[in-house]
Structure formats: structure tokens, C-alpha cells
Amino acid sequence: MQMSNFSFSTSDWSDVPRTTHAGETGTAYWRTRQFGDIRVRFVEYTAGYLADHWCEKGHIILCLEGELETELADGRVTTLKPGMTYQVGDGSMAHRSRTKVQTKLFIVD
């Protein structure tokens, strides 16, 4: 990843507009900033969220609160708890997210 074409800045995430994204079940709320080619998001999932699609985009995800279950296309399931991350490259492994409890994440992609 090359981080270019943007200057130093800070983000007060409470000032970033929130967008709503319905899952197959539950809801995701995103606060998104774009820095050149890099998208940075503060994401909140409601309890019982299940993504409505399989994702092949690369991410670096930090779990801040709750638990995130990630199902991989090969059948594996991983669980992130607060303080844990996962990393996956673009096109590396299809994955989808689900939650049992309200969950907050910080995502770079």
C-alpha cells in the first residue's frame, strides 16, 4: 500500500456523517473518510448483523468493541474480539461478516 496524495489531518469521527447499510439481517452504520485511494471507516454493526454479500475487497480491520465473526469462502470462521485485527488482500479470499452482539470496528481499505 502506498499512502500518497493527502496531507496530515485528524478525524473527529463524531463529526463524520453516518450512512446506513442494511445487511441480510441487521444494519451496519458507516462513518467514512477517503484519503487518496485509501478508504478509512468507523463501522458499527447491530446485534444479529449478517452481510448481504461475499466481499473480495482487501481490508485491515481492528475490533474496538463486541465480536466480529468472519466466514471465509473455504468454510473457516474466525472471531475478532476487542484489540484483535485481521488483514486480507484484494481478491485473496472471499469473506462475509456477522455479529451476535453490537460491534464497533475501525477499517482501512
Domains of the chain, by residue range, sit at 43-109
Q: Does this model's pTM top 0.85?
A: yes
Find the mean pLDDT for residues 38-46.
Answer: 97
Whether the per-residue pLDDT at 1 is higher than 80: the answer is: no
Among candidates 43, 59, 51, 52, which has minimal Cα distance to 92? 59
* Dihedral pair phi/psi, residue 106, rounded to 5°: -120, 125
Find the mean pLDDT for residues 2-26.
Answer: 92
pLDDT bucket at 69, cuts 50 / 70 / 90? very high
Find the mean pLDDT for residues 33-50.
Answer: 96
Sheet holding 27-35, edge to edge: 18-22, 27-35, 38-45, 103-108, 59-65, 85-88
Amino acid of residue 5: N
Whether the per-residue pLDDT at 3 is higher than 90: the answer is: no
pLDDT at 4: 76
Would you mind telling me the total number of residues written for the chain in this entry?
109
Q: Which CATH architecture has domain 43-109?
A: Sandwich (2.60)
Return d(Cα 81, Cα 70) in angstroms, integer.
12
Q: Which residues contact 63 (CB under 8 A, 6 or more apart)?
A: 80, 81, 82, 83, 84, 85, 103, 104, 105
Return d(Cα 31, Cα 33) in angstroms, integer.
7
pLDDT bucket at 6, cuts 50 / 70 / 90? confident
Weakest mean pLDDT among 34-38, 39-43, 98-102? 34-38
Find the mean pLDDT for residues 49-58.
Answer: 95
